[in-house]
């Protein structure tokens, strides 16, 4: 199954602010269960720099940094991804007895 995902995060401020470096963790990962087909990130205002870095857990984090002379009243990050899943039956898992009632009683 193929999923087209669009996510938008909007920060608004009550006055003009200076933007410091941000780390965005919204990129779906490719693994044995799914494959990332497409990924696009759009940031407003446009960052001075943008790079993708593997974190310690194998996720790809997007690092953003901005012109320090820039002042803005909002920051908008829009992600568009396309993910292909490989599971034939997404309900193919075992329900353990401790997880059948709320609250969970973790072993």
Q: For 45-87, what is each residue's pLDDT tens digit?
A: 999 999 999 999 989 999 999 999 999 999 999 999 999 999 8
Residue 105 is assigned to a structural domain of this protein:
no
In a domain? residue 51:
yes
13 lies in some domain: yes
Structural domain includes residue 40: yes
Long-range contacts of 67-70 (CB under 8 A, 24+ apart): 68/18, 70/18, 70/19, 70/45
55 contact partners, CB below 8 Å, separation of at least 6: 25, 61
In sequence order, what are the residues at sequence separation of 6 or more whose Cβ sits closer than 8 angstroms to the Cβ of residue 82? 2, 3, 4, 5, 36, 37, 38, 39
CATH code for the domain in which residue 21 is found:
2.60.40.2250
User: Measuring CA to CA, which residue among 28, 24, 38 is closest to residue 77?
Assistant: 24
Any domain includes 71: yes
Q: Examine residue 36 and state whether it is found in any structural domain, yes or no.
A: yes
Domain that holds residue 73: 2-87
pLDDT tens, residue by residue, 9-35? 999 999 999 999 999 999 999 998 899
């Amino acid at each position: 199954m193929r999923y087209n995902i669009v996510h938008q995060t909007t920060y608004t401020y009550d006055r003009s602010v200076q933007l410091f470096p941000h780390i965005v963790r919204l990129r779906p990962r490719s693994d044995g269960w799914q494959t990332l087909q497409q990924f696009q990130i759009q940031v407003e205002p446009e960052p001075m720099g943008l790079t993708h870095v593997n974190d310690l857990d194998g996720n790809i984090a997007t690092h953003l940094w901005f012109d320090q002379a820039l002042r803005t009243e909002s920051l908008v990050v829009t992600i568009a991804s396309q993910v292909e899943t490989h599971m034939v039956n997404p309900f193919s898992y075992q329900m353990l007895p401790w997880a059948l009632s709320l609250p969970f009683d973790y072993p």
